[in-house]
A and B are shown apart, each in its own frame.
Chain A
Amino acid sequence: MNCKDIEQDILDFIDGELATDKADKIKKHIGTCANCKAFYDETVALFGAFNKEEQQVPSESLREGFYKLLEEEKQLLNPKVVQFNKQEKAFPWKRAFQVAASIIFLFMGYFLGSHKTGKDANKQIIALQKETNELKEGMVLAMIENQSVSKRIQAVNYTEGFEKPDVKILEALIERMQYDGNMNVRLAAAEALSEFPESIMVKDAFIEALTTQKSPSLQIAIIQFLVKIQEKRAIAPMKQLLEHSDTPDFVKEQVNDGILQII
């Protein structure tokens, strides 16, 4: 056992925590080595001094002083704390709810109102449309026998917007197509009538017109309409047209073309 080992184990030796054989060896060494004896004595003396020293306890006055100081500091900080509270209050939930509610009410009112007026307006528009249609029908009937050709054409053109024209209107148009003195009116009427291909009256009128009308332009317009609606009954009068010597060649061409398309 050398002096270095002694140095390491000396604290455990003093506390008596070493195994007995190791403690005997250290005791023996200390008895022989003056250096180690001196180190041992010093260490024992140091620890003895530590144990002897009384624990320092802070005085009561210090504690009081500290709390006093704390209170003072708190007092000093207090107004600031109040200010913080105020800032937190700056978000006024109640008022926000009020504003939000009023905005919602406003919008609800607006939508409700607009919905209602929209409905009313729709009704009014429908009524107005009906009225204008009636007015237009009246105008058509009043103008369709006007002396002026241009006015008669205008009357015929008025029928363009009609979805389901009155029988009276159709009759007036058919009369124009068949018997109007002016070619252009007859043609305009034929065109106006071709907007109503569902009407049986119109179909019959076109088939009849095919045999009676002599003007090539009108014949072409009639053929085109009958081909468009695939009217099978038109084939016989169309073939008749082909046999007529006074039918112009370009009309015959249209007839041939048309017959092919119908079949």
Chain B
Amino acid sequence: MRALGVVAAWLRTVPGRIRAGAVGVLLLLALLAAVLAAGVGQARGGVDTIGHDAGPQVVVTGDLYFALSAMDAQVADILLIGGEHGLGIGYDASVRRYDRYRGLADTAAVQASQLAGSDPARLGTVHAVLDGLGRYERLAAQAIQLADQAGYPAGRPTPDVVATYRRATDLMRLQLLPQAYNVTLDSGATVRASYESRRSAVLADRALVLVAGAVVLAALVAGQIYLARGFRRVLNPALALGTVATLALVVAGAAVLSAEAGRLREAKRDGFDSVLALSRARAISHSAFADESRFLLDPERADTYEQTYLDKSLAVLDVEPAKDQPFNLATYYAGLGRQITAFAAGYGAFLGFFGDEARQERTRPGLVRTLAAYRTVQDNDRRMRALAGRGDLSGAVRLRMGTGRSGAIGAFDAYDAALGALRDQHRHVLNDAVHAADADLRGWDWIPPVTAVGVAVLVLAGVRPRLAEFR
């Protein structure tokens, strides 16, 4: 009440009115600066999550999954060829690959735990994977040692080798891989939630900046008119300069928030979403490829490994069997050929990770190449199972372990390279958008407050000579 009284007393005199007007303008300026700073903060938060925190976590844990899965596949391969060390890719090359993937897994796990720093649940999961990895390596080494001692013909492992490998692969498939995969998914969820809330906050703040800016500008213009009429002067230069500076701040501020909303959208839709989908496709494809070796290695579980292979294939690229046809690999191969041909010809849509990717126009040629390579991988799978079904186990193993264009490993490597190249295209889109967003935001931590203070000084400088006339 007292404060109201003071203000009312002020407003009865001309200098009082000028003072009150100046205070009002300063408060509005502070509000404008605060709203703008909030918008910039939201944009920065969104960019940090997608570009510097959860986004990279998706890539790193995706790599971890891939490396772990590839390790288990190499162990299965080594056990599969048994004593025939020269078969296909061969024993030494398989061991070298195993060592390389182990190194990759270690690096990725360390990076993942660094990136998980702020999240105890995620950190706990990464540590659990690291602990399990040590146990896995011991079991794998034991299985390989048993195989070396037995020296059996390709595809005919001894029961103790199969039993030891089961312990290793169960540890990998049932404990370690799911945890790595779930961290990838959880990081993806963090990005999605952050994107939605941050982007709408940036847009809402932009609207607030425009409203607050319009009010400040109106007040400055009103002050200019009041002073011009009351003191018979044409223009108050300081106030005019302040008005121009405010206008510039509002326009530039709204523009930078618009640009940030656009960058976030680009980073998410054209970059991150595809990186996540393709990382998952790569992880699941490696795991499926390992199921082929396990299928040959462990006849008792062959049915399960065949079904998980089909499930994983469906997750990567879903195929609708013709009416009244059952879901099995035979109908999958048939449908896959139809779908890929249709897509390459420019029509047809499908589900699965590649279905998500098919909606991206820019990278279509890369996807067509990847799908062609995927088809070759599935074709090899069909041939391999046909050989195994006819009882030609050594033929199946030779095909599975073959390098070059006609071998399953060679074809899979080509597919993996095409898939990796496609993912890298989207990583570049993501990185470019993030760098551009960072560059756009440069300076915006201090621009709003400094400009507001500058305008405030100009307002005070503008009214001070007028107030002096009343002394």
Do A and B associate with each other? no
